[in-house]
Structure 1
């Protein structure tokens, strides 16, 4: 009897062990599939961008538990990877924040309407031309803001920044060609006209291209290290443009006062063309 019971126990243990091994192999195979999908990109499906347009928008889909969840796709769950760059000033890089199709779409909208960029006049609050900023740019209009792809990006910015979408200004798209730059500056306002309308509290800067040399975003007061800025070594942190990545940084401290350490600049482009999109967010409805 004892021998029979022992054999039965050993048999059950063997059965359970084999089952666990098989389950572990299936789990590893599933995880590997997700990793390969993330590296190579998922299959795509088409959806009409706007009733008045004859173009189509390609969004990622694939073998994921949340692939049929519209909000999860809109937020690019499983793609966006946050990386904290600095706590003072507060800087976070969101890798893969935009899809390649979204980047190309924003560039296509902007290209025909580019104008010489301006800066905010501290006395009047109006935009003026300045040698501080040598790029070309344009703003999306209120009608374009209603397009499904733009709405998806706007919602993503709002969720990841935790700032209501209605507090955001219209998105600006910029092009920096060889030799162009934006000298270090603050995004928060110092003129009474704009402060009364609501101070800027945060910025989401999105890279739309990476086929270039230079063009980094430099935060000179973020740390004591040195980094390459347009081929020159400077103090602070430099974030290299990578298509689809986005930088979220805060112009205000946790106490609600403006943060001088949030000063930043666009390093000179030494080769190629830099495309970016900027979303400024205010403390109340813009």
Structure 2
């Protein structure tokens, strides 16, 4: 009898201890949940530059490979890029495969400009480029100069591939591997980035129902997509376009990345 009472008493003691321990554990977890999400990075300049704790990746397609990075740019960075671009916007061009030069075409009806090599050294631009390199896992030196575009009402970019079909444009840096497309404004209606080869889902492109994947422009978000597959060959499924803007204005910044250093 005494042995039984001892065992029951011991079990009761262990049970009470476990309950008390569980309560302390729950209290500790609650304190962690209520603490600022970036508390461990508050004094880390590298974490601030990379916007750790703010950027949220979302894989939306594996073929082609497409990832949306929510909150990739801050509102201040978006306005900064727009301010640099505004005085120098000109009618956008497309690449002439025969000469490698830009020519005007009804394939693309936006206005745009490229940042200069000097502007690439500005602290804010430098921070954005490093962020792109880290999240894309492609060295900064493999990137082309950032292009900034503005699409007004009824403007668009018909579906196309970012990789080159000729050898002329591959002489400096090789083939384009991936593209980071960053949205600098919220488009009220239309202006989606459309991937017609990304599955059989239905989405809205410029007010029209289409098959594929459509990414709505949200200021600060970025879309990373790959023009080359895992086997090193160009991926025809990376076909994409800019849907017609129905209302408002669409601003974006594009970073193309190559196989090798571009300079």
Q: Taking structure 1 as the reference length, what is the TM-score of the superposition?
A: 0.84
1:174 aligns with 2:176: no
CA deviations over 1:34-82 (Å, ceiling 9, x no partner): 4xx6xxxxxxxxxxxxxxxxxxxxxxxxx51112112211111111111
CA deviations over 1:121-171 (Å, ceiling 9, x no partner): 011010111111111111111111111111111111111111111000000
Deviation of 1:6 (Å): 7.6
User: Helix, strand or coil: the match of 1:65?
Assistant: helix
1:87 aligns with 2:65: no
Choose 94-103 or 13-22, whichever is displaced more.
Answer: 13-22
Q: Distance in 2 between matches of 1:8 and 1:91?
A: 58
Q: Distance in 1 between matches of 2:109 and 2:124?
A: 29
1:278 aligns with 2:223: no
1:264 aligns with 2:240: yes
**Runs of at least 4 residues off by over 2 Å:** 1-20
Deviation of 1:22 (Å): 3.2
Q: How does 1:200-219 map to 2 (within 5 A)?
A: 200-219=176-195
Choose 73-82 or 214-223, whichever is displaced more.
Answer: 73-82
Q: Is the 8 A contact 1:124 1:191 kept in 2?
A: no
User: Helix, strand or coil: the match of 1:125?
Assistant: coil
Q: Distance in 2 between matches of 1:85 and 1:211?
A: 20
Q: What does residue 199 of structure 2 align with?
A: 223
Deviation of 1:23 (Å): 3.6
Q: Is the 8 A contact 1:205 1:246 kept in 2?
A: yes
1:199 aligns with 2:201: no
Q: Distance in 1 between matches of 2:91 and 2:123?
A: 28
Q: What does residue 59 of structure 1 align with?
A: none
CA deviations over 1:148-204 (Å, ceiling 9, x no partner): 111111111111111111000000111111110000011011232102221111100
Q: How does 1:1-286 map to 2 (within 5 A)?
A: 14=16, 17-34=19-36, 64-197=39-172, 198-286=174-262
Q: Distance in 2 between matches of 1:4 and 1:132?
A: 86
Q: Distance in 1 between matches of 2:33 and 2:162?
A: 42
Q: Distance in 2 between matches of 1:69 and 1:189?
A: 40
Deviation of 1:13 (Å): 5.6
Q: Distance in 2 between matches of 1:162 and 1:179?
A: 35
Q: Distance in 2 between matches of 1:12 and 1:212?
A: 61
Q: Taking structure 2 as the reference length, what is the TM-score of the superposition?
A: 0.91
Q: Which has the higher contact order (CA 8 A, sep 6+)?
A: 2
Q: Distance in 2 between matches of 1:218 and 1:193?
A: 28
Structure 1, gaps ≥5 residues long:
38-62
